[in-house]
């Protein structure tokens, strides 16, 4: 049960809301990630988009690429079209040794629109599931042939958000469709992170570790806020700085034999929550909590 500790560049620059951290250069993000002791980073919007340039940027600080987000539109077009569209992204993943690719269906999503309440997120009909599930299987099977696992990211404001959504996704797809377990999105969606690990643990192949502030979740629901407004309001923070019980979550991951990346995240305004102290604190917290759970870090 060996895990690797990584960090998402969202700690420095927000991909969905560029005004948060737009002034921070990629070189600072990578240097501070290495200085904090992380083994790797996930890809963000400021990263180079050619294999050679990406590998060179990571090599400066001796970092590995943990993964990179891919937005799919399988509700709108077939798997063959999606596979063709992802080739550039897939080349980046293969060139940098990524083994689990973050994958999210974003057709009809509302999480990128600050003017739309997250309550207006898409909800799939039986007919929608009959389209999405087999197409996801086809893409996941293709990626498996390339030596890469699909890590499906349940996400606020997208078609797969709630506990029921994830349960149906797992029930209607094969084992090549893995689950990216995001502690913060799970809780914001009303889920119990511990229950999710116990219930879906055999399919979890990538983990995003971010904490939540329960009062901000309650405020977002009461105000029928957008996802991005909730982010600006501080709904998320680094692991160990909010209301989630990461010791219990990591115990459950260890019990399920999890081996993969633990990626720290905190979608906050770096002008309010400076990136460097949070990078250092989150890495120390993940290291200590993982080892207490019997998850050895490499």
Dist. CA 52–CA 253, nearest whole Å: 35
pTM: 0.97
Q: Is the torsion defined by CA of 61, 14, 70, 37 positive or negative?
A: positive
| Number of neighbouring beta carbons within 10 Å of residue 127 | 8
How far, in Å, are 1, 59, 268 from residue 64 at the CA level?
A: 19, 8, 24
- DSSP assignment letter at 237: E
Q: Which residues have a Cβ under 8 Å from the Cβ of 59 and sit 6 or more positions away?
A: none
Q: Give the pLDDT confidence score for residue 271 in this predicted structure.
A: 87
Q: What is the mean pLDDT of residues 207-228?
A: 98
pLDDT above 70 covers a percentage of the chain that reads 100
**Quick check: 263 and 6 in contact, CB under 8 A?**
yes
Give per-residue pLDDT as tens, 106-156. 999 999 999 999 999 999 999 999 999 999 999 999 999 999 999 999 999
Spell out the domains of the chain, with CATH numbers in brackets. Answer: 2-297 (3.20.20.150)
Q: Give the pLDDT confidence score for residue 298 in this predicted structure.
A: 80
The lowest-confidence range among 91-105, 136-150, 220-234, 267-281 is 267-281
pLDDT above 90 covers a percentage of the chain that reads 93
Both tokens of residue 110? 């509302």
Q: Which residues have a Cβ under 8 Å from the Cβ of 246 and sit 6 or more positions away?
A: 183, 209, 211, 239, 240, 285, 289
Q: Give the pLDDT confidence score for residue 16 in this predicted structure.
A: 86
* Block residue for tokens 């990524």: 98
Average pLDDT, the chain: 96
């Amino acid at each position: 049960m060996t895990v690797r500790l990584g960090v998402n560049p969202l700690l420095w620059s927000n991909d969905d809301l560029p005004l948060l951290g737009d002034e921070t250069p990629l070189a600072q993000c990578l240097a501070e990630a290495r200085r904090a002791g992380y083994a790797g980073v996930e890809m963000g919007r400021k990263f180079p988009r050619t294999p050679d340039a990406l590998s060179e940027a990571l090599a400066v600080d001796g970092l590995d690429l943990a993964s990179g987000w891919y937005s799919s539109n399988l509700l709108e077009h077939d798997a063959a079209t999606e596979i063709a569209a992802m080739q550039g992204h897939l080349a980046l993943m293969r060139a940098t040794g990524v083994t689990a690719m973050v994958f999210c269906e974003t057709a009809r999503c509302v999480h990128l629109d600050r003017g739309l309440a997250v309550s207006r997120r898409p909800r799939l009909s039986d007919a929608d599931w009959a389209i999405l599930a087999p197409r996801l299987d086809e893409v996941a099977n293709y990626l498996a042939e390339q030596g890469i696992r699909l890590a499906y990211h349940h996400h606020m404001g997208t078609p797969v958000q709630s506990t029921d959504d994830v349960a149906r996704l797992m029930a209607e797809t094969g084992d090549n469709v893995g689950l990216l377990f995001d502690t913060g999105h799970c809780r914001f969606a009303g889920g119990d992170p511990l229950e999710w690990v116990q219930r879906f643990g055999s399919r979890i192949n990538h983990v995003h570790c971010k904490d939540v502030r329960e009062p901000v979740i309650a405020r977002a629901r009461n105000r029928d806020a957008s996802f991005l407004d909730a982010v600006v309001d501080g709904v998320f923070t680094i692991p160990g700085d909010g209301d989630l019980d990461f010791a219990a979550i990591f115990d459950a991951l260890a019990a399920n034999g999890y081996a993969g990346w633990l990626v720290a995240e905190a979608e906050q305004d770096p002008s309010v929550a400076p990136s460097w102290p949070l990078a250092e604190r989150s890495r120390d917290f993940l290291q200590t909590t993982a080892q207490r759970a019997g998850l050895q870090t490499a």
